[in-house]
Amino acid sequence: MSTIDLRDAARAAVASHGFAVDQPDQSGLTAIAPAALSAGARDLTGLLWSSIDNLETRDLDQLEFAERLPDGGIRILLAVADVDVYVPKGSALDAYAAQNTTSVYTGVTTFPMLPERLSTDLTSLVEGETRAAMVVSLTVHGDGSVEPAEVFRALVCNRAKMTYSDVGAWLSGAGAPPRPVVAHAPLGDQLRLQDEAAQRLRERRHERGALDLETIEANTVSVNGRVVDIALIHKTRARELIEDFMIAANTGVANFLEAKGIASIRRVVKAPKRWPRIVNLAAREGATLPAEPDAKALAAFLAARRKAAPERFADLSLAVVKLLGAGEYDVEVPGGEQHGHFGLAVDDYAHSTAPNRRYADLVTQRQLKAVLAGAPSPYTVDELTGIAARCTRMEDEERVAEREVRKMAGAALLSARIGETFDAIVTGDTPKGVFVRLLHPPVEGRVVRGFEKLDVGDRTRVKLLETDVAKGFIDFARA
């Protein structure tokens, strides 16, 4: 087992991709009194707000609350941390955030977009603290349709910080109520109502052609910089709930700004260039997809395969995700061309719900606040275009840096298993080689022998030939 300290390796990898890794001075950051934050904001601290996130998450960006309306509709209130109040446009902190544009989560250590004094404290919607927020109000009808969003400023207080695993198991009937629900019964009713609204939203999106993918994430488990495991993060009903709410909020914000005549940054996923390979994957399963990209047809195929072969659906999902390609940021001018989000089957999709860790969200938040104040947008179209390009570039760099660190972690974990064989799925066919991900443990590496005729989505057996932890190399031969 290599003695390399992955914390140092992660720092070097992230810095090599253009990220500032030394946090700016935080000594002058002090809390703003709630009274000073309340001007022009609604006091909603009395509502039963709660958050659902990973156990280790400290940069909490959003809270949720729901209420049933007399006509059967459900009003969802999504509170998003007001980061702009501490990071004004043009400040030194803003310049730092604009350079990195995103937090980088390597699994070994985190490099936050904003200083931890802000992102995990003053601008985090931590339990029991009054915080400033931007609230997106959405009314979800029985058929899953959503009324145009209302946006306003408010003061909020997180009454319960809960985890995906606890809430997900309870909602699906596979686990006991989370501790906060046991302590405060109305919170259970609140979560059930949120789940009902999320199911409505999800069903409506699927009718429109949204892709229901079972993506499996891997999380590096390290102790003092040494890898001890790579754990799978499975999708749960609680994760789906938050995903559905965030999609609804980001769509609502995009439409809100467009209705106000404001150009804004959008998240775009164009029709996949490797659609013919997706067609081939479907044909192997006995299904026929159109020759041209069709989200509804792909969604129907995925739904059918999930039902027919649930044990293999995660592998199929992984292949489709790889073939869809990465998203990017673009600027939409009201009345101009729309690119939309292929995977979500929506025409308008902003990023607005994670301003602690994504710069595009902070920019959108400033635009929302300007609209509410009756002021012009704080950004010109040219400025937005430059920011969108920077965000896309740094997100690409983030993916590469995170992948490098994950490969180092994987190489460290596998270094004592040279010569063993593993089941794998092909995840990439690039000029740099053919790449596979092992099923157990979920580690990715390159096939250096016997890779001919392998393509994305193929299942294969591979033999581990060599690892190099410092370089993150994991080399396989087709077994």
**Contact indicator for 205, 181 with CB cutoff of 8 Å:** no
Low-confidence ranges of the chain (pLDDT < 70): 1-3, 215-219, 221-226, 228-229, 231-233
Residue 314, SS3 per DSSP? helix
Tokens 């977009």 belong to 113
Alpha-carbon 112 to chain mean position:
15
What are the φ and ψ backbone dihedral angles of 460, each rounded to 5 degrees? -155, 170
pLDDT of amino acid 440: 86
Q: Domains, the chain, ranges and CATH?
A: 6-268+341-407 (no CATH), 275-326 (no CATH), 417-478 (2.40.50.140)
pLDDT of amino acid 206: 87
**CA 5 to each of CA 2, 18, 104, 299, 403: distance values in angstroms, whole numbers, following the listed order:** 9, 21, 18, 43, 17
Q: Which helix (H) or strand (E) holds 437?
A: strand 433-438
Angle of CA points 222, 224, 227, to nearest 5°: 30
On whether the CB atoms of residues 351 and 267 are closer than 8 A, the answer is yes
Q: How far is the C-alpha of 5 from the C-alpha of 11, rounded, in Å?
A: 10
Q: Which residues of 100-109 are buried (b: 16+ CB within 10 A; e: fewer)?
A: bbbbbbbbbb
Please name the residue ranges forming H helices in 3-54: 6-16, 34-37
Opening angle at CA 9, ends 5 and 12, nearest 5: 145
Distance CA 126, CA 73 (A): 29
Task: For 224, list phi and psi in degrees, rounded to 5.
Answer: 55, 40
Q: What pLDDT, in 10s, does the model give residues 418-473? A: 999 999 999 888 888 999 999 888 899 999 999 998 988 899 999 999 999 999 99
**Helices 359-372 and 381-414, interaxial angle, to 10°?**
150
Rounded distance, CA 151 to CA 356, Å? 19
Tokens of 293: 């990209």
Beta strands in 141-225 (DSSP E): 150-163, 217-223
As separate numbers, helices (DSSP H) first and strands (DSSP E) second, the chain gives 13, 17
Is-contact 427 437, C-beta < 8 A?
A: yes
Structure tokens at 8: 């140092």
The structure's pTM equals 0.89
What is the rounded distance in angstroms from the CA atom of residue 428 to the CA atom of residue 445?
Answer: 10
Give the tens place of pLDDT for each residue, 55-82. 989 999 999 999 999 999 999 999 999 9
Structure tokens at 80: 């998003």
Torsion of CA 424, 430, 432, 438, to 10 degrees: -10
Burial of 63 (0-12, 13-18, 19+ CB in 10 A): buried
Spatial separation of the C-alpha atoms in residues 245 and 378, rounded to whole Å: 27
